[in-house]
């Protein structure tokens, strides 16, 4: 598990700065997926999903290939479970989780972090890795902080 830069605080600061210079959520989240993909070698596919009614819809993403899971019903897959419960899912071995919806044959582990406003889950960050047990507690803490920054941007943009 070797990232090019494993300075999570530094990357979080860069993301916070990007938020200040981004006009729209799409613009901001596009920059975030670029930064995460560049900075962390164990993040092989990064995507934002947004809650639209009872479904998660794919937003900005970065990775070697596209996923067929553009829409995921809430409650289905690791993504749907994390959104329905509002809790981070850190799956060290996706082959051992019966909820897993396969996207890429190379994926071995996955982390899904909900993005929450003060009242509800509005979306999530989904990351796949080709390494087993790729995501540490530090990754989870870092990604939960990124999710908070995104939630704050989302709520400000919508005047909430």
- Tell whether residue 115 is a contact of ligand SME (CB under 6 A): no
Per DSSP, the residues of 80-118 read: HHHHHHT--EEES-GGG-TT-----TT--EEEEEEEE-S
CB of 64 to ligand SME, least distance (A): 12
Nearest to 69, CA basis, from 97, 91, 48: 48
CB of 24 to ligand SME, least distance (A): 23
The residues in 90-109 that bind ligand SME, with binding defined as CB under 6 A, are 100-101, 103
Tokens of 112: 């899904």
- Tell whether residue 126 is a contact of ligand SME (CB under 6 A): yes
Residues in touch with ligand SME (CB under 6 A): 47, 67, 69, 72, 77-79, 100-101, 103, 110, 126, 128
């Amino acid at each position: 598990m070797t990232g090019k830069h494993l300075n999570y605080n530094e990357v979080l600061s860069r993301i916070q700065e990007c938020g200040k210079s981004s006009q729209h959520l799409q613009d901001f989240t596009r920059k975030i997926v670029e930064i995460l993909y560049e900075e962390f070698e164990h993040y092989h596919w990064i995507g934002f999903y947004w809650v639209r009614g009872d479904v998660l819809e794919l937003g900005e993403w970065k990775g070697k290939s596209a996923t067929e899971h553009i829409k995921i019903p809430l409650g289905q897959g690791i993504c749907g479970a994390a959104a329905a419960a509002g809790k981070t899912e850190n799956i060290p071995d996706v082959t051992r989780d019966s909820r897993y919806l396969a996207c890429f044959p190379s994926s071995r582990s996955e982390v899904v972090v909900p993005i929450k406003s003060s009242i509800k889950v509005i979306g999530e960050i989904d990351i796949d890795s080709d390494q087993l047990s790729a995501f540490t507690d530090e990754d989870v803490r870092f990604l939960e902080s990124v999710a908070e920054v995104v939630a704050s941007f989302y709520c400000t943009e919508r005047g909430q």
